[in-house]
Structure 1
Amino acid sequence: MDDMQLLRDFAGPAGLPAPDELARKRAELIAATTARRPGRRWVWGSAAAGLAAAVAAVVVLAPADTPGSPGPAAAPVTDPVRILLAAAAKARALPDVEPRPDQFVYTRTRVADGRENEWWASADGTHDGLAFLYGHETELAGCRDGKRVQKDHGRTVTSRCEPRPAARPDLPTDADAMLAYLHKSTYGEGDTLHDLGNEVVALAGGYLRPAARAALYEAVAKVPGLVVRTDAKDATGRPALGITWNSTTEHGIGNQDEFLFDPVTFTYLGSGMTGAVVSQGIVDAVRQRP
């Protein structure tokens, strides 16, 4: 599964970057914006997060249906760059846990109509995983020795493949390198903001080690035209900050998505496209839950 986040109480309130750090990042943002070729306008809608970790056979990475932290009343942050940089700082400070090759990244999401999906994706891409998508059980066959063997309507089908690890060990850990990686556009639709958005959705909803997750948020902060929605909610009803963008594919099809972040801890809550992330963790076996 290649579309494959910290407990609020564990994370605690997240501080915003110091003014001098923000000024430096803004200068980088302006430089990156002027250096890029003109593109379609992005409108994002919220900020950031990270994954939690524990030293155990099962590592919990994100909460299930956790109520918001009450905290003191404060004016919501409306600057998308500040939000993303705060989220990046929070993510970079998390414990770094590298899954074993034989483990699985477990993820459970909820969509707007209340239905839930869950899957177990192989950490190194070579082991057989499993998904329950909209009530249907689907085998996620691993890729071994360049071949993937899976059942298809009672038949055994063998196809050529390359492993697609759920825990990527080679992702960039700085903003510029991450932005270059995103522009490679593995979706094959061309170098557009639509493609870039698809890449961010796929990465943000999966397992990322702290340095890579922080780099992802810092890379997004370099994209021009980001806009915050302060009254957003995710599919579970949790209040959120939304960072949105509007983009159009090369075929003229419009797309708008929203990345949702906790307004107190800046933890990533999910997106409008893939739904709310309600649970995520590292487990030893298929069907095991954190």
Structure 2
Amino acid sequence: MKTPEHQDLAELLPAPAERDLPPHRHRHHKERLLHAIDADRRSPAFVRRLARPAFAVPLAATAVAGALVVTTLTGGHDGSRPPAERVPLADAGPQRASVLLDRIAAVALKSGTKPVRDDQYVYVRSVATETVHIKPVEAGGLKQREDWFSQESRPSNDVGVFREDGKFVTIHGADNHPAGIDRPTYQWLASLPTDPDALYQRLRKETRPIKGVDFDQTVFDTIGTLLWSGVMPPRTEAALYKAAAKIPGVVTMRDAADADGRHGVAIAREDRQLGQRTEWVFDKKSLTYLGQRTYLTRTDEWGKAGTLVRATAILERAVVDRARQIP
């Protein structure tokens, strides 16, 4: 028998049949939402009837732009298990992130990314951990996925196509869904201010809060998703890194690993309300973006500190001329 709380949760989550949100992003936000709801219930201000949050989840995928440009990122992926079920917490210690973010921004300025046409698609081949248990959290094996994301800048319900387990699935957005923070096309990203202060304020204005989640963390996650999934001019990308440095609590970690087991440095932030730290992982030499991971930072009913919640890795990315085209 469903409790009122189960009913509230069912109403909060999108209907799975609509496919308006890629499954890996839906799982990520479901995990964070469940944790937020549980934390909210333990507070004196718990309100049984929770407001429906708007999941501001960009749907395009990262690429080095061009008519047909392919980047392959090698690693130790064997498709079976995540790189580690526990994340060591004995890092030498977090440091202020502004210096590393300035270095990453300088690399982004030299990337030479070219404009992407509205009629093109961004192709991404990635891996991510599957969640096999939510409470206590347990990240299972890795699953490969391919995405083709439409770059149509006009209002459209053509979001793209993904392939998982050998099956193609069309991703449908809302009718005439405009380009924006929920659907960040190249043209929309190119329209953002390149002054870091102005960009930071713009993102804070357009990021929608999730009940029970630290808003600064939500802004951090929004920027992280844009960096993971957005094809943008070099100046815009550089500005995003510098805007991230303005978020309170953002630090540098000297060692981190993506879902493919590749180690690098990380830009990280801890959501102390949820007891989770999210890290953007970059190659130590080239400062190339590799992926993300999230893990628990305290021991509670959700699991032991250091337990991996989720990890992702980009293995290949390209700009192609049509959906389902393989680079």
- Aligned equivalent of 1:228: 252
- Aligned equivalent of 1:65: 74
Cα RMSD between the aligned structures? 3.2
Q: TM-score, normalised by structure 1?
A: 0.65
- Aligned equivalent of 2:163: 132
Greater RCO, CA 8 A, separation 6+: 1
1:75-127: CA deviation from partner (whole Å, max 9, x where unpaired): xx965222110110110122131111100011222124321122111112544
Distance in 1 (alpha carbons) for counterparts of 2:268 and 2:159: 35
Conserved 8 A contact 1:185-1:196: no
Distance in 2 (alpha carbons) for counterparts of 1:257 and 1:178: 21
1:281 to 308, 313, 318: 318
1:35-82: CA deviation from partner (whole Å, max 9, x where unpaired): xxxxxxxxxxxxxxx96445xx3122x323269xxxxxxxxx965222
Distance in 1 (alpha carbons) for counterparts of 2:161 and 2:282: 28
Superposed, which structure 2 residues align to 1:76-87 within 5 Å? Answer: 80-87=97-104
Please list every run of 5 or more consecutive structure 1 residues that lacks an aligned counterpart in the other structure: 5-49, 68-76, 149-160
Compared with structure 1, are the counterparts of its residues 101 and 81 closer, same or farther at alpha carbon in structure 2 (3 Å cutoff)? same
Conserved 8 A contact 2:258-2:313: yes
Distance in 1 (alpha carbons) for counterparts of 2:279 and 2:162: 24
Distance in 2 (alpha carbons) for counterparts of 1:232 and 1:128: 32
Superposed, which structure 2 residues align to 1:142-161 within 5 Å? Answer: 147=175, 161=177
Compared with structure 1, are the counterparts of its residues 225 and 232 closer, same or farther at alpha carbon in structure 2 (3 Å cutoff)? same
Conserved 8 A contact 1:108-1:278: yes
2:289 is equivalent to residue 268 of structure 1:
yes
> Which consecutive segments of 4 or more residues in structure 1 shift more than 6 A?
1-4
Distance in 1 (alpha carbons) for counterparts of 2:248 and 2:217: 14
Conserved 8 A contact 2:266-2:281: yes
Q: Secondary structure at the match of 1:213?
A: helix
Compared with structure 1, are the counterparts of its residues 227 and 198 closer, same or farther at alpha carbon in structure 2 (3 Å cutoff)? closer
Conserved 8 A contact 1:88-1:217: yes
Compared with structure 1, are the counterparts of its residues 177 and 100 closer, same or farther at alpha carbon in structure 2 (3 Å cutoff)? same
1:211 to 224, 235, 248: 235
Conserved 8 A contact 2:113-2:232: no
Superposed, which structure 2 residues align to 1:181-220 within 5 Å? Answer: 181-189=202-210, 192-206=215-229, 207-220=231-244
Conserved 8 A contact 1:3-1:202: no
Q: How far does residue 135 in structure 1 lie from its aligned partner after superposition?
A: 6.0
Q: How far does residue 198 in structure 1 lie from its aligned partner after superposition?
A: 2.2
Compared with structure 1, are the counterparts of its residues 105 and 2 closer, same or farther at alpha carbon in structure 2 (3 Å cutoff)? farther
2:117 to 87, 91, 100: 100
Compared with structure 1, are the counterparts of its residues 122 and 277 closer, same or farther at alpha carbon in structure 2 (3 Å cutoff)? same
Distance in 1 (alpha carbons) for counterparts of 2:172 and 2:264: 35
Q: TM-score, normalised by structure 2?
A: 0.58
Q: Secondary structure at the match of 1:241?
A: strand
Distance in 1 (alpha carbons) for counterparts of 2:164 and 2:262: 22
Aligned-residue identity in percent: 30
Q: Secondary structure at the match of 1:205?
A: helix
Distance in 2 (alpha carbons) for counterparts of 1:58 and 1:119: 15
- Aligned equivalent of 1:245: 269
Conserved 8 A contact 1:64-1:278: yes
1:196-243: CA deviation from partner (whole Å, max 9, x where unpaired): 122112201012221111001111122233332222111111111122
Conserved 8 A contact 1:124-1:165: no
Conserved 8 A contact 2:266-2:280: yes
Conserved 8 A contact 1:111-1:235: yes
Distance in 1 (alpha carbons) for counterparts of 2:234 and 2:22: 19
- Aligned equivalent of 2:178: 162
Distance in 1 (alpha carbons) for counterparts of 2:217 and 2:159: 31
Count of paired positions: 217
- Aligned equivalent of 2:87: none
Q: Secondary structure at the match of 1:141?
A: strand
Compared with structure 1, are the counterparts of its residues 52 and 130 closer, same or farther at alpha carbon in structure 2 (3 Å cutoff)? closer
